[in-house]
Homo-oligomer: A and B are copies of this chain.
Amino acid sequence: MPSIKSKEWSLANRPVGMPKLSDFGMRETDAPEPGNGEIQVRNSWMSVDPYMRGRMYDRESYVPPFQIGETLQGGAVGTVVASKHPDYAEGDLVVSMAGWREAWTAAPESVMANKVPKTGLPDSALLGVAGMPGLTAYAGILRVAELKEGDTVFVSGAAGAVGSTVVQIAKIKGCTVIGSAGGTEKCKLVKELGADHVIDYKQHDTYDSLLGALRAAAPKGIDVYFDNVGGDHLQAAIECARPMGRFAICGMISQYNDTEPRPGPNNIIQVVGKQLTLRGFIVSSHVDLQPQFLQDMAGWIQSGKMKFEETVMEGIETAPEAFLGLFQGRNKGKMLVKLT
């Protein structure tokens, strides 16, 4: 049971505005042989997700900030190489928060590791459609937005890991779906996933144009908005909302790199007259849905109702580039880094 070489990423300094490659630093360490209660794991995939940008600020939030020089954290899937933990054996598949590194040795609880039963799914899906982004979509659209059959649903970031899953769940539930995404190729994907209407926000790059496109797609208005983007999209959604509209506010990627406060929607007063509900949420508050989620998702994937797209970068060296790509719209579906 030798130690394993592991390249790992940390913050070299706190990014200001859009992060740069020079904000990250890589070093090589060892994942030593495990002590009592520990496991040694070689990661095969790691995840980059927009929410990680929030942890790069030094501020109080729902997850503690990353510390300069400490190895970054994030979703990863790997295989147990050696175990001194009674519940884990060599060869077990493990999902953990010990990403941004090639290998690690730790007590499973300390990195939120969980053993994954063998499924028919590729391992990478455990970081996407069958993992955290999938549960985010599932909890957000079904519980937070209280989706009802027949709703007209608007989803921004509809080609992303979360958005593309939301589009498909809403179609499975008998809704009319409008997805927005950036660029012809992504819009084609969103359409293939079943969206009734697609808005290319790069073609509608002013608020008025975006609003016009949404009005054309939903002449009677929208019942539900699933927000991954914030900014103009949120304002347009308020403008087009029908009475009693429900908004699941999952993220605002258009604003994550803002260095100055940005004015909010100038029509928020409509929340009163239309009796809208805007509800922010974090997936960790909805882990109680996990068993039902996995059962539904496995069924949908097997029956061909749920498709998933991945954008894969190769090798630990590419991790910062993959992360930056999220804010440049470089991913279709889940952005992943393949490690072995």
Contact = CB atoms under 8 A, between A and B. Distances in A.
B280 A275 contact: yes
Max chain B CB contacts within 10 Å: which of A61, A234, A273, A282?
A273
Given A243-B62, A264-B264, A267-B264, A279 B277 contact: yes
Interface of A: prevailing SS: loop
A1 interface: no
A271 interface: yes
Interface string A241-284: 00100000111100100000111111111111111111111100
A261 B272 contact: no
Interface string A277-295: 1111110010000000000
A74 interface: no
Contact of A249 (B61, B261, B266, B271): B271
A264 B266 contact: yes
Contact of A268 (B61, B264, B275): B264
A73 to B, nearest CB: 17
Contacts of A277: 277-280
A262 B278 CA distance: 19
A250 B54 CA distance: 31
Interface string A134-145: 000000000000
B273 A54 contact: yes
Interface string A42-61: 00000000000010000001
A194 interface: no
B282 A273 contact: yes
Nearest to A270: B280
Contacts of A279: 271, 275-278
A280 B276 contact: yes
The interface size bin for chain A is 35 or more
A276 B280 CA distance: 5
Contacts of A285: 275
A230 interface: yes
Contacts of A230: 268-269
Given A273-B62, A282-B273, A285-B275, A261 B266 contact: yes
Max chain B CB contacts within 10 Å: which of A61, A249, A285?
A249
A267 B230 CA distance: 11
Contacts of A273: 54, 61-62, 280, 282
Nearest to A254: B269
Given A234-B268, A273-B280, A278-B278, 10 more contacts: A230-B269, A249-B271, A251-B272, A261-B266, A262-B266, A263-B264, A268-B268, A271-B280, A276-B278, A277-B280
18 contacts: A61-B273, A249-B271, A249-B272, A263-B264, A263-B266, A264-B264, A264-B265, A264-B266, A264-B268, A271-B280, A272-B280, A272-B281, A272-B282, A273-B280, A275-B285, A276-B278, A278-B278, A278-B279
